[in-house]
Amino acid sequence: MLNSPVALRAKSNKQSCQQKIKKQKHVTTNLDLSRKDFWRERGEALKPKLKHWIVKPIEAVTIYESSEAWQKCKTEPIWQSQDLNKRLWQSGDSFILDFGETLVGKIKLNLCPGKGIHNGAPIRLSLIAGELPYDVDKEPDSYSGGLSRAWLQDETVNIDILPGEYILPRRYSLRYLKIKIISEPRCSIKFTDISIIAEGVEEHIPEPLEQWDEQLANIDNAGLRTLRNCMQDFFEDGPKRDRRLWLGDLRLQALVNAVSFKRFDQVERSIWLLAGGVFEDGMVPGAIFLYDKPVGGNRVIDYSLLFTPMLLEHVQFSDNKEIGRELFELAAFQFSFLRPYIDNKHILHDPGKWWTFIDHCKPLDRQMPLQAIYIYCLKALIKLAQLLGGDERIPEWQEEANAMARAVRKYHFDPKTCMIFSGPKQQQSSATIAWMIAAEVLTKAEGKRALETLENTSEAILPNSPYLQHYLLNAYFKCGENAKVEAMIRNYWGAMVNYGADTFWEIFRPGEDFFSPYGDVRNNSSCHAWSCTPSYFLRNLK
């Protein structure tokens, strides 16, 4: 904990870097980390009062195997929810309720004795809350993934008193709820009501635009429901799994929020909280876990850089320059971590000291994507400085950005195909092209050409996650390829909707129903912040 102002300078580990950048004056910054507690307090002061609303199930469903269905699990209605309080249940019975949409909230059960003599024994129930049918169809104890099995939303509860109303203490993200009666008190039992007490910063999802057809309306709706469900005490990445404030996700949520819920206060809260979680060396964390106090914190170097465009966009959207001024030096400081690894030719070499995320993709060469993100973010810093009234370092930053852009074009660029090659193996990837277009290293025309080349390069590394899909979409959008943007949205996010999604998934690889980076597909989050961005494009394409 730092209690006095500290003027941090880039660390001396730049001596260990073999290829040095010529001009050291770029590193000049005046970050005052003694403001850290103030930033955190600013975030805490914006804690939202969550709304709560009751959602009843639509119907009970059965799940059967179907080769057409996502994860081979197809649902079919078997009885309507108004029949619930006519049905009696005994040990061994089970049923699955469909709440009609994915929700975040608590489970409320009202139950009473059914027929027979109630002998006073407790009732034991097992519950599985699932975002997708497969989640509730498969026995949770078969879990074999790498992440904690406790992310699976299943509970075993013992209930002592009937009749009674029971609200389970934990929060779930669910559309389906399977209840199995493990043992009953001699008499059968009856559920007079089963509801979700849904919660979030907002309840109502903005209406679709008039000009849209049903598919676009559905995609927009699923995107905004995804965002709504992630807007909890802070902007979560996934309300089922992770439940962390990730900077990379927050940036995309903030973009969609600006065209929908417009809860800029909550974006601001999350920005302050990230700033308040700054590491002692001045790096903004890639993620912090906030229930109920900050725990952990990941170092993700590309996310730390993205703090700058996120701050810029927030100032632009909300017109609140104060937060821009307060956090400007923190933003500017993020570049100092990588600056020592930029060589004399203005090429950045990933030091491998921190996680360079870019995408969930092992074979992806991250050299050029990271170079592009650096340039893109540095340009955002310049814009932010200009918006706030200028800064004497702007020329230096401009020179740095330009030099790095020129270096890309000189050493890594094929003017004919407009392809940019990354790393020793000259890898071609969506990640490189998407970010080079964002960073305006390629002109609009070059970008178009590069995207075309990419489409025709079978060995190119394509996006794995909806997160990188967003930046690829952004590239087409920036190049004016609006029809392609719409087609990509229909093709990628539309495919999820066709599979029944009403919120967008953390991971979606068409044809790979059971792919998971976590070893078990049930730990994929099926309502995940970084997948909510089609609404941003659809609402800007109008």
Ramachandran bin of 436, using left for φ above 0, alpha for ψ from -120 to 50, beta for the remaining angles: alpha
Per-residue HEC secondary structure of 442-497 comes to CCHHHHHHHHHHHHCCCCCECCCCHHHHHHHHHHHHHCCCHHHHHHHHHHHHHHHH
**Site for a copy of itself contains 121 (CB under 8 A):** yes
Nearer Cβ to a copy of itself, position 189 or 441? Answer: 189
**Site for a copy of itself contains 160 (CB under 8 A):** yes
Q: Phi, psi (5° rounding) for residue 182?
A: -85, -45
Binding part of the chain for a copy of itself, among 183-191, 335-343, 457-465, 475-483 by CB under 8 A, reads: 183-191
**Site for a copy of itself contains 518 (CB under 8 A):** no
**Site for a copy of itself contains 451 (CB under 8 A):** no
Binding part of the chain for a copy of itself, among 117-125, 196-204, 376-384, 432-440 by CB under 8 A, reads: 117-125
Best CA proximity match to 337, nearest among 374, 392, 365, 309: 374
The C-alpha atoms of residue 105 and residue 171 are separated, in whole angstroms, by 5
**Site for a copy of itself contains 192 (CB under 8 A):** no
**Site for a copy of itself contains 425 (CB under 8 A):** no
Structure tokens belonging to residue 477: 């959008």
Binder of a copy of itself out of 292, 319, 392, 459 (CB under 8 A): 292
List Cα–Cα distances, 87 to 54, 113, 122, 453, in angstroms: 22, 11, 20, 61
Best CA proximity match to 382, nearest among 406, 410, 402, 409: 402
Q: Phi, psi (5° rounding) for residue 195?
A: -135, 160
Binding part of the chain for a copy of itself, among 210-218, 288-296, 301-309, 337-345 by CB under 8 A, reads: 288-296
**Site for a copy of itself contains 123 (CB under 8 A):** yes
Binder of a copy of itself out of 162, 273, 342, 439 (CB under 8 A): 162
Binding part of the chain for a copy of itself, among 18-26, 114-122, 223-231, 486-494 by CB under 8 A, reads: 114-122
How near is the Cβ of 287 to a copy of itself at its closest, in Å? Answer: 9
Residues 129, 135, 141, 145: is their CA dihedral positive or negative? negative
Binder of a copy of itself out of 74, 87, 149, 349 (CB under 8 A): 149
Pairing of strands 413-414, 154-159: unpaired
**Site for a copy of itself contains 291 (CB under 8 A):** yes
Number of CB atoms found within 10 A of residue 39's CB: 22
Nearer Cβ to a copy of itself, position 121 or 495? Answer: 121
Burial 151-163, CB ≥16 within 10 A → b, else e: bbbbbebeeeebe
Pairing of strands 189-200, 94-113: antiparallel
Total site size for a copy of itself, rule CB under 8 A? 36
How near is the Cβ of 122 to a copy of itself at its closest, in Å? Answer: 4
Number of CB atoms found within 10 A of residue 495's CB: 14
Residues 367-386 that bind a copy of itself (CB under 8 A): none
**Site for a copy of itself contains 11 (CB under 8 A):** no
**Site for a copy of itself contains 167 (CB under 8 A):** no
How near is the Cβ of 106 to a copy of itself at its closest, in Å? Answer: 13
**Site for a copy of itself contains 77 (CB under 8 A):** no
**Site for a copy of itself contains 317 (CB under 8 A):** no
How near is the Cβ of 142 to a copy of itself at its closest, in Å? Answer: 13
**Site for a copy of itself contains 117 (CB under 8 A):** yes
**Site for a copy of itself contains 184 (CB under 8 A):** yes
How near is the Cβ of 167 to a copy of itself at its closest, in Å? Answer: 11
**Site for a copy of itself contains 296 (CB under 8 A):** yes
Cβ-contact 356, 350 below 8 angstroms? yes
Residue 490 burial by CB count (10 A; 0-12/13-18/19+): exposed, middle or buried? middle
How near is the Cβ of 492 to a copy of itself at its closest, in Å? Answer: 29
The C-alpha atoms of residue 230 and residue 418 are separated, in whole angstroms, by 38
How near is the Cβ of 277 to a copy of itself at its closest, in Å? Answer: 13
Ramachandran bin of 287, using left for φ above 0, alpha for ψ from -120 to 50, beta for the remaining angles: beta
**Site for a copy of itself contains 161 (CB under 8 A):** yes
The C-alpha atoms of residue 310 and residue 377 are separated, in whole angstroms, by 9
**Site for a copy of itself contains 45 (CB under 8 A):** no
Cβ-contact 132, 173 below 8 angstroms? no
Cβ-contact 467, 359 below 8 angstroms? yes
Q: Phi, psi (5° rounding) for residue 335?
A: -70, -20
How near is the Cβ of 242 to a copy of itself at its closest, in Å? Answer: 7
Binding part of the chain for a copy of itself, among 42-50, 142-150, 214-222, 381-389 by CB under 8 A, reads: 142-150
Binding part of the chain for a copy of itself, among 153-161, 351-359, 462-470, 494-502 by CB under 8 A, reads: 153-161
How near is the Cβ of 527 to a copy of itself at its closest, in Å? Answer: 17
Structure tokens belonging to residue 389: 């009234």
Best CA proximity match to 253, nearest among 234, 277, 233, 279: 234
**Site for a copy of itself contains 243 (CB under 8 A):** yes
Nearer Cβ to a copy of itself, position 124 or 478? Answer: 124
**Site for a copy of itself contains 409 (CB under 8 A):** no
Residues lying near a copy of itself in the complex (CB under 8 A)? 91, 117-124, 147-151, 155-156, 158-162, 169-170, 182-186, 242-244, 289, 291-292, 295-296
